[in-house]
Amino acid sequence: MTEPKTIWDLPLRLWHWAFAICVGFSLYTGLDGDISWLEWHVRSGLTICGLLAFRIGWAIWGGRYARAGWFKTSPKAMLAYFRGDASIDTPRTPPGAALALLLVAMVFVQASTGLFATDEIFTEGPLTRSVEIETARDFTWVHNRVFWGILVAIGVHLLAHLVYAVRGGPHHPRSMITGMKPLELEATESFFVRALVTAILAVAVVYGIEAI
């Protein structure tokens, strides 16, 4: 059996759990119906913007398997995986890579439209007043609908990991806690200095949004 090695670097794992918590919190505060949560909803959305900025940077210069080049997938690769004739020695399964890209893309749309959204009564995004009211309404329309896709993607993601947990194998969900997978791949470094610089840049993005 292949010896487990570090596939998910620590900054990526910390990002993953922070992202999951913030997305879950944003969904709760946005759907609960209690207007007292909306201020926290906006703050959580800004935090997600910062996390997305970090992830974009980490996809360029982060840990080996966090980089964009390792998200390669295709319908052919996904079909081969479901048929059982695809190699397991990839950091992500082909459908897993596709779902990750789709989920991050939808959260990006949700968070970016939220910056311009408004309920025209109590709450508005930090950039709402920088656009015309009709444009803000258009962004709000998108913001109030994309979350359905996010909920479906999260459900599929959790179901897939439940299957992996039951079946075992290299893609067990505990790998996002330990970082370890038994794959025929070279271990990655965590690049803590790069992570710190990327985090500082991500914070600067958030402050820049608020300063506009």
Residue 84, SS3 per DSSP: coil
Entry field: residues in the chain: 212
Confidence of residue 57 (pLDDT cuts 50, 70, 90): very high
What number is the average pLDDT over the span 117-135?
A: 95
What CATH number is associated with residue 114?
1.20.950.20
Q: Which residues contact 27 (CB under 8 A, 6 or more apart)?
A: 147, 150, 151
Q: What is the pLDDT of residue 86?
A: 62
Dihedral sign computed on CA atoms, order 150, 155, 158, 163 = negative
Confidence of residue 89 (pLDDT cuts 50, 70, 90): confident
Q: Which residues contact 192 (CB under 8 A, 6 or more apart)?
A: 10, 11
Q: What is the pLDDT of residues 25-44, one digit of tens each?
A: 999 999 998 999 999 999 99
Count of domains forming the chain: 1
Confidence of residue 82 (pLDDT cuts 50, 70, 90): confident
Whether 107 contacts 171, CB under 8 Å:
no
Q: Which of 104, 132, 98 is nearest to 118 (CA)?
A: 132
Any long-range contacts for 152-158 (C-beta under 8 Å, 24+ apart)? 153/99, 153/102, 153/103, 153/106, 154/23, 154/103, 156/99, 157/99, 157/103
Is the model's pLDDT at 121 over the cut of 70?
Answer: yes
- Cα distance between residue 94 and residue 162, in whole Å: 17
Domain residue limits at 88:
5-211
Confidence of residue 170 (pLDDT cuts 50, 70, 90): confident
Q: What is the pLDDT of residues 185-195, one digit of tens each?
A: 999 999 999 99
When the pLDDT of each residue in the chain is averaged and rounded to a whole number, the result is 95
Model pTM above 0.85 = yes
Helical pair 94-114 and 38-61, crossing angle rounded to 10 deg: 130
What number is the average pLDDT over the span 148-172?
A: 94
What number is the average pLDDT over the span 49-57?
A: 98
Lowest mean pLDDT among 3-7, 16-20, 52-56, 197-201: 3-7
Q: What is the pLDDT of residue 1?
A: 59
Phi and psi at residue 80, to the nearest 5°:
-65, -40
Q: What is the pLDDT of residue 181?
A: 94
Whether 58 contacts 19, CB under 8 Å:
no
